[in-house]
Structure 1
Amino acid sequence: MACTAQPATSVAAGNTQGKWWKDGVVYQVYPASFMDSNGDGLGDIRGITSKLDYIKSIGATTIWVCPHYDSPQFDLGYDISDYESVFPPYGTLQDMDDLISGCHSRGLKIIVDLVINHTSYLHKWFQESRSSKSNPKRDWYIWRPAKYNANGRRIPPNNWRSNFSTNAWTWDEATQEYYLHLFCPEQPDLNWENPETRKAIYASAIEFWLKKGVDGFRVDTVNMYSKPKDLPDAPIINPKAEHQGAASLYCNGPRMHEFLSEMHDVMAPYDTMTVGECPNTPDRSKVLKYVSAAEKQLDMVFLFDVVDVGQGTETKYDTTPRNWTLPVLKKAVNNSQSLIIGTDAWTTSFMENHDQARSISRFASDAPEHRVHSGRMLAMLNATLSGTLFIYQGQEIGMINMPEDWPIEEYKDVESGNFYKYVARATNSDPVALAKAKAAIQHLSRDHARYPMCWDSTPQGGFSTNPKTWMRVHDLTDEINVAQQEADEGSVLNFWRRMLKVRQDYSKLLVHGYYEVLDEKNEHTYSYWKTSKDSRALVVLNFTHRAQDLELPKVETGGRLNLAISTYEHSTGAFDSLRPYEGRLYILECET
């Protein structure tokens, strides 16, 4: 057998060439926390523009800007009051035009968030919808009359719980009906069943920005637009709770593929990239239908298998920190990596975003003696997986979770706050229950992705000249920052740069190749092959703080494994035991 032979399962059969986004590296920016250009303590669009050269220097080819739209900020920008304007503290439409042109002049693409499952309750559409039952836009949102229990008490139309640990329905006193909101009460769900609503969404949220030059969209909650018409009660999973999780009902509804095909047609005249946020979709056939090139719906999706590792089942905080094993993580990675095998689908590689805690704190070690090695090891994992790669701001310098001793008051996110209040109510503020809730929040909260970016060791970490930043700057900004790492060849930042260059050099193998895990049940190390039609690579990762024996697979006759890169600066023997949190990439070469 030749040393470059393919494994038994064929390499991806779909068209893997020709799309700019397939070999892309997308750098995600959260505007409020990236860079403050005017000293008001809040990040802004001009701040993003000022850092475009830095973003490109990492190896990114595209930037993704989280919601920049006008918003009352109940859900930090995901509650949009006007799709065609900018949140004033962030800047103006002209600032967005400058950012778009600034990206394009540097050869960068730019995508923005598309948040169209819901709007803000202050959006003019909802203001009209709630003005009266006879208003022409009444049916643009989901309204239902009350039900009444055996005691005559008014109750919501069904028992659904929102994603933020609250009732999914809010009573409108003026029109005497409930409206549905899968998130905050300030985020009413749009009624996608109404074709006029869909046309307005496409014109205001999509075409307006495509005409301005954006190159695509990260599509928020992409599988929640089609709800079952009768809005049935969710199964009772927690008998003690009045409201139940209903994702199995409102995700992947009956008309989802129809809606996404229609949306694809709107974007077809433009050379766009779409990546959908696709939670609660265990059915592989549904995922493949979303991302099949032939189906013409989405280019790719974010599956949540990896970032859900260690989270609770009923609610994500119903867990204890590090409540997972390495085989569980391997299985999660495989679920997204296998999407491209023998299909015309595409996939993604990511471990952080604005909704997730920091990956070093979750999946490796943020202890001072291990966090740099952990950051480099996770960089190797992410950069050697197939699909389009997504990096979240600060991930490239190894930013970690907020410290354990920060009080709950430092957490700004509505999800964190609502869960803590829920536990307080449910347990009569039992100290043990609250301590457990705080520990889960400290491990998994979205706030960890949202505190300010650390640029240097000056006050406020170089994020702002204002001592009163909108969120507290991390205590370790003098140790974890861009300026310090720029000057350190062994830094997490400079390893990311090297790793992205390796990814580019071996694109057919690392971006488009086939992934095959080797040590699925090993709880300490993680090894996998990457295979293309004419080459193979081996990745070996130590997920522990102790040295681990290196167990290399037997290679084909006539081949040898050559060490291409290690996450440690100073190499030992290429085949010596793995040091704590070490990662190695070997290339299989044929002997001549």
Structure 2
Amino acid sequence: MTSSAIVEKAWWKEAVVYQIYPASFLDSNDDGLGDIPGVISKVAYIKSLGVDAIWLSPVYTSPQKDMGYDISDYRSIHAPYGTVEDMQTLINVLHDNQMRLLMDLVVNHTSDQHDWFKQSRSSRESEKRGWYFWRDAKIDTNGNRKEPNNWRSIFGGSAWHWDETTQQYYLALFLPSQPDLNWSNPEMRRATYDDMRFWLDRGVDGFRIDSMNLMSKHPDLPDGKVVNNEPFQDGSEFFASGPKMHNYIREMRTEVFDNYDCMTVGELGFTKDEQSVSQYVAKDRHELNMVFTGDIVDVDFGPNGKYERTINNIPRKIREITDLWQQSMPKFNGWNSVYYSNHDSGRPLTRYASDSPEHRAAAAKMLAMYLLSLGGTPFLLQGDEIGMANLGKDYGPDAYIDVEAKNYYISVLKSRGGNESTMDDVLREMQLKSRDHGRLPMQWDSSVNAGFASPKARPWMTINKDYTEWNVASQINDPNSVFSFWRTMLTLRKQYTDLFVYGSYKSIPESVMGEGVIGFERAEQVVGGKRAVVFVSFSEQKYTISTDKYVGWDVLVTNHRASVDNSCIELGPFGALLLIDSK
């Protein structure tokens, strides 16, 4: 399927975005934690890669119960990261280098240390009481106090938490220290819009909106469907994409975003179908530029959750997801975000390809070709450009510090009677999927602490011991490195913008290639325009693709695991090949 409509161009469509997890990027002051001055010092490096914008994960003032996604002041900076003045310097330096900055916008919830919540919980008569969700307890037949409903927190346990002072429960879908804001309150919304303007007025170029579609809950907060004997159940049917969700986004856009030349991308959890997604991104809806549906980073989840083993054919599932969104967006004049990693996921190299020594470089290059030859706005996570991988299998549960993984491990361990010897299956999935892997300190060189921090500092989390071989310094001047391949692909994407950014997409059937290969054609949307074809293998197998269709086409780039011989294309393990029509 192809689209014949000519797409309206915009800077945010042509941008390639580099996500920085601030705690893990570069420590400039020997406290073991990355910071904003560290980011500023590496702007030249980031620009040399060929990206156009930085997405900075939260740097606001925070108690750091959930790595900054629990914000206590939207207008100040977490002191170990720097100051508002440092942020202004970063904005200015990026703009001086013709680059842009996106910040994380976390407005589904705040920290319980935010002044809004402190006031809200101070009294039932507080003027900010209605800025959060407060409910009376239920009383069971034995006279025991129970939660207002049976919703399970996303991090486990009840989503409701008792407040002794005012004798009511408050709702927190993540940690107890992350109370949910009540978006039905107009005063709360206005205050939140003022915080957005604070940063946009300083030159920030847009936002990634965290947990965006959780901002509207069903007004009655009904019980979730009971599917097991657990005390708390999945309530996402009633807390995700609620009845006022689109009203809130349109108001946010009208009141704030339309007054700036900014980019918006919403994190769209629990919602992965074409019809629902279209309502957020179709141009005539006047809502968001694009969304993260999350399906590509959930592809290896089990049927009952993240830390179960999947039975999916991973390449086939990736192909289905790729085809779905590449083919759907043109139907309703929407725009794709293109990604396969972020701070909430394990590294795609380990999960979907291979980080084994004999395949690692080729597989990392294959992933780069896949990402950067698709239509939409690509997002990569710091370290993708050098082939960073997950912690290895010789790391035990103590190496994992993220609250999500730790809570899950502890809960399963408890259910199994505290017997560590029964936990191999859970640890195996943590070794693939834990959020820690996407948050590992950046590997700059082979010195102590990988150049992330000085030898005298103690890094805030585990540094992958493979840093002595896999680091920026060893790759940046090597023309055959993963870094150089990323730079080549980024250069080609800019050289052929009408082809790779705005061009049409046509999937090649699995039957033509083999189950481990993803293939697609791209074409400029003008008569006689350039055409290209991409083949990328997510498998250790070798594939021979027999086709006469691309005879005479030129090899634009390969990861040296692929070749063309007459009418046959040979793909070695994790091979990647990009051909362009020479006519």
TM-score interval w.r.t. the shorter chain?
over 0.9
Matched, 1:230 2:225: no
CA distance in 2, matches of 1:553, 1:274: 43
SS at 1:112's partner residue? Answer: strand
Matched, 1:297 2:290: no
Matched, 1:248 2:230: no
Given candidates 88, 92, 100, the residue that maps to 1:101 is: 92
Match of 2:298 in 1: 308
- Listed as ranges, the gaps of 5+ residues in structure 1 are 1-7
Given candidates 566, 569, 572, the residue that maps to 1:579 is: 572
Given candidates 58, 64, 70, the residue that maps to 2:61 is: 70
TM-score by length of 1: 0.94
Match of 2:277 in 1: 287
Please report how far the alpha carbon of residue 325 of structure 1 lies from its aligned counterpart in structure 2 after TM superposition: 3.1
Please report how far the alpha carbon of residue 519 of structure 1 lies from its aligned counterpart in structure 2 after TM superposition: 2.6
Matched, 1:272 2:262: yes
Structure 1 vs Structure 2: percent identity of aligned residues? Answer: 43
Please say if residues 362 and 561 of structure 2, whose CA atoms lie closer than 8 Å, have aligned partners that are also in contact. no
Please report how far the alpha carbon of residue 88 of structure 1 lies from its aligned counterpart in structure 2 after TM superposition: 0.2
CA distance in 2, matches of 1:120, 1:437: 30
Higher mean Cα deviation, 120-129 or 246-255?
Answer: 246-255
Structure with the greater relative contact order (CA < 8 A, sep ≥ 6): 1 or 2? 1
Aligned AA (2:471): N
Q: 1:146 to 1:103 in 2, by over 3 A?
A: same
Match of 1:525 in 2: 517
CA distance in 2, matches of 1:332, 1:307: 11
CA distance in 1, matches of 2:444, 2:538: 28
Aligned AA (1:589): S
CA distance in 2, matches of 1:324, 1:246: 29
Matched, 1:508 2:503: no
Which one has the bigger helix percentage? Answer: 2
Given candidates 419, 422, 437, the residue that maps to 2:411 is: 422
Task: Output aligned runs, 1:166-245, within 5 Å.
Answer: 166-204=157-195, 206-237=196-227, 239-245=228-234
Please say if residues 561 and 575 of structure 2, whose CA atoms lie closer than 8 Å, have aligned partners that are also in contact. no
1:514-538 Cα deviation digits (max 9, x unpaired): 2222133632222111122223211
Please report how far the alpha carbon of residue 211 of structure 1 lies from its aligned counterpart in structure 2 after TM superposition: 0.9
1:434-468 Cα deviation digits (max 9, x unpaired): 22111111110000011100000000000001341
CA distance in 1, matches of 2:144, 2:173: 23
CA distance in 1, matches of 2:187, 2:306: 36
Q: 1:64 to 1:510 in 2, by over 3 A?
A: same
Aligned AA (1:540): F
Matched, 1:155 2:146: yes
Please say if residues 305 and 335 of structure 1, whose CA atoms lie closer than 8 Å, have aligned partners that are also in contact. no
Match of 2:533 in 1: 538
TM-score by length of 2: 0.96
Q: 1:429 to 1:16 in 2, by over 3 A?
A: farther
Matched, 1:563 2:564: no
Task: Output aligned runs, 1:295-374, within 5 Å.
Answer: 295-319=285-309, 324-374=313-363
1:209-264 Cα deviation digits (max 9, x unpaired): 01111000011011110000110111123x13211122222111100110000100
Given candidates 471, 479, 486, the residue that maps to 1:489 is: 479
Given candidates 366, 378, 392, the residue that maps to 2:367 is: 378
CA distance in 1, matches of 2:542, 2:382: 30
Aligned AA (1:267): F
1:193-213 Cα deviation digits (max 9, x unpaired): 000000011112x01101111
Match of 2:72 in 1: 81
Task: Output aligned runs, 1:378-397, within 5 Å.
Answer: 378-397=367-386
Match of 1:400 in 2: 389
CA distance in 2, matches of 1:433, 1:338: 44
- Listed as ranges, the gaps of 5+ residues in structure 2 are none
Q: 1:151 to 1:552 in 2, by over 3 A?
A: farther
Aligned AA (2:437): H
SS at 1:460's partner residue? Answer: helix
Task: Output aligned runs, 1:2-13, within 5 Å.
Answer: 9-11=2-4, 13=5
CA distance in 1, matches of 2:405, 2:376: 31
Please report how far the alpha carbon of residue 420 of structure 1 lies from its aligned counterpart in structure 2 after TM superposition: 0.5
Please report how far the alpha carbon of residue 279 of structure 1 lies from its aligned counterpart in structure 2 after TM superposition: 1.6
Match of 2:452 in 1: 463
Task: Output aligned runs, 1:5-154, within 5 Å.
Answer: 9-11=2-4, 13=5, 15-17=7-9, 19-154=10-145
Please say if residues 14 and 344 of structure 1, whose CA atoms lie closer than 8 Å, have aligned partners that are also in contact. no
Higher mean Cα deviation, 498-507 or 527-536?
Answer: 527-536
Higher mean Cα deviation, 576-585 or 175-184?
Answer: 576-585
Please say if residues 61 and 78 of structure 2, whose CA atoms lie closer than 8 Å, have aligned partners that are also in contact. yes
Please report how far the alpha carbon of residue 14 of structure 1 lies from its aligned counterpart in structure 2 after TM superposition: 6.0
CA distance in 1, matches of 2:362, 2:299: 21
Aligned AA (1:163): I
Aligned AA (1:148): I
Number of equivalenced pairs? 575
Matched, 1:475 2:475: no
CA distance in 1, matches of 2:87, 2:299: 36
Aligned AA (2:48): S
Task: Output aligned runs, 1:432-451, within 5 Å.
Answer: 433-451=422-440
CA distance in 2, matches of 1:485, 1:389: 22
